[in-house]
């Protein structure tokens, strides 16, 4: 794939892809809506419940925004990769990554939050807004939600090359537009278009000629796909795939394949899974992932309503 010529064209391209996925979801939903045409009975256009059980599904946000007045705490943990086998007990005793997050829903459909991640000492501040919600029998055939964050790398200056990562160099951003549909009480799918931006990218040796100092693009485009299948009232099988789109001069990121199980209650969600993303901050995952080996991870969320 050729390098895209400008940030404007990149954003245009990815939201064009997002539109294609939206049309695909609408086409899938059309037969169900056409069946109701001409019926005199009033349709129930209230939003469907529990397209997903958590604001997270493995490494990605979901279209879910909890009800107004909900306070949430997230614990996200990633163990080391499994490639060393028994030496570090398949990564369980290797170096790990963890994020603690806190979110609140001050008004309907809007969630705001922040978190702190062990890797790079990232502080992230985020917001998520449910633009449209799938109706139960009529109304919108899909749910559409927008997520944005800003993250700050707060490591000591000694961690960086000289005269780098000063001021705004430490900032990065992530935008995600999500489309999801609950097809049956047990089965939901989501597709999203993502834009990552880093204010600063270091010069690194080229892959073919180490004497050539090359640089990754500041902007990166990707797609994400999520699925959930309930197998009981409290347990689901979950899966995800993240596909990088931008072709960088050096260090192109690896895609992410992940799958696991989710167990929920009225106020908790616990997910355990395997995948090859170790960075929990989404723009870091999408831009810098070089893992091809699987690792074990888990997410825990706890909700309180006020």
Domains and CATH numbers, the chain: 7-29+46-202+219-305 (2.40.160.40)
Q: Is the Cβ–Cβ distance between 220 and 195 less than 8 Å?
A: yes
pLDDT at 71: 97
> The pTM is what?
0.85
pLDDT at 22: 52
The radius of gyration of the chain's CA atoms, rounded to the nearest angstrom, is: 20
pLDDT at 2: 40
Q: What is the pLDDT along the chain (306 residues), one digit of tens a residue?
A: 444 444 444 554 555 555 555 545 545 554 444 444 444 457 788 899 999 999 999 999 999 999 999 999 999 999 999 999 999 999 999 999 999 999 999 999 999 999 999 999 999 999 999 999 999 988 899 999 999 999 999 998 887 777 677 789 999 999 999 999 999 999 999 999 999 999 999 888 887 888 888 999 999 999 999 999 999 999 999 999 999 999 999 999 999 999 999 999 989 999 999 999 999 999 999 999 999 999 999 999 999 998
Q: Is the Cβ–Cβ distance between 83 and 290 less than 8 Å?
A: no
Q: Is the Cβ–Cβ distance between 195 and 8 less than 8 Å?
A: no
């Amino acid at each position: 794939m050729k390098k895209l010529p400008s940030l404007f064209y990149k954003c245009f391209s990815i939201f064009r892809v997002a539109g294609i996925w939206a049309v695909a979801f609408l086409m899938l939903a059309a037969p169900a809506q056409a069946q109701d045409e001409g019926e005199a009975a009033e349709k129930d256009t209230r939003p469907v419940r529990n397209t997903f059980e958590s604001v997270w599904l493995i490494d990605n946000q979901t279209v879910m925004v909890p009800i107004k007045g909900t306070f949430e705490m997230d614990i996200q943990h990633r163990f080391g990769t499994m490639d060393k086998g028994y030496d570090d007990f398949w990564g369980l005793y290797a170096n790990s990554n963890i994020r603690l997050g806190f979110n609140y829903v001050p008004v309907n459909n809007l969630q705001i939050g922040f978190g702190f991640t062990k890797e790079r000492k990232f502080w992230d501040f985020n917001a998520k807004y449910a633009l449209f919600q799938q109706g139960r029998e009529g109304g919108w055939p899909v749910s559409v939600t927008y997520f944005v964050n800003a993250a700050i790398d707060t490591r000591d200056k000694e961690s960086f090359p000289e005269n780098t990562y000063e001021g705004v160099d430490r900032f990065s951003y992530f935008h995600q537009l999500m489309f999801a549909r609950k097809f049956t009480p047990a089965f939901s799918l989501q597709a999203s278009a993502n834009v990552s931006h880093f204010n600063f990218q270091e010069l690194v040796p080229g892959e073919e000629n180490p004497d050539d100092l090359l640089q990754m693009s500041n902007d990166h485009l990707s797609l994400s796909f999520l699925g959930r299948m309930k197998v009981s009232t409290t347990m689901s099988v979950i899966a995800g795939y993240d596909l990088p789109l931008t072709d960088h001069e050096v260090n192109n990121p690896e895609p992410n394949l992940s799958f696991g199980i989710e167990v929920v209650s009225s106020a908790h969600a616990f997910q355990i899974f395997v995948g090859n993303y170790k960075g929990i901050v989404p723009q870091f995952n999408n831009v810098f992932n070089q893992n091809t080996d699987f690792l074990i991870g888990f997410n825990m969320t706890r909700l309180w309503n006020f």
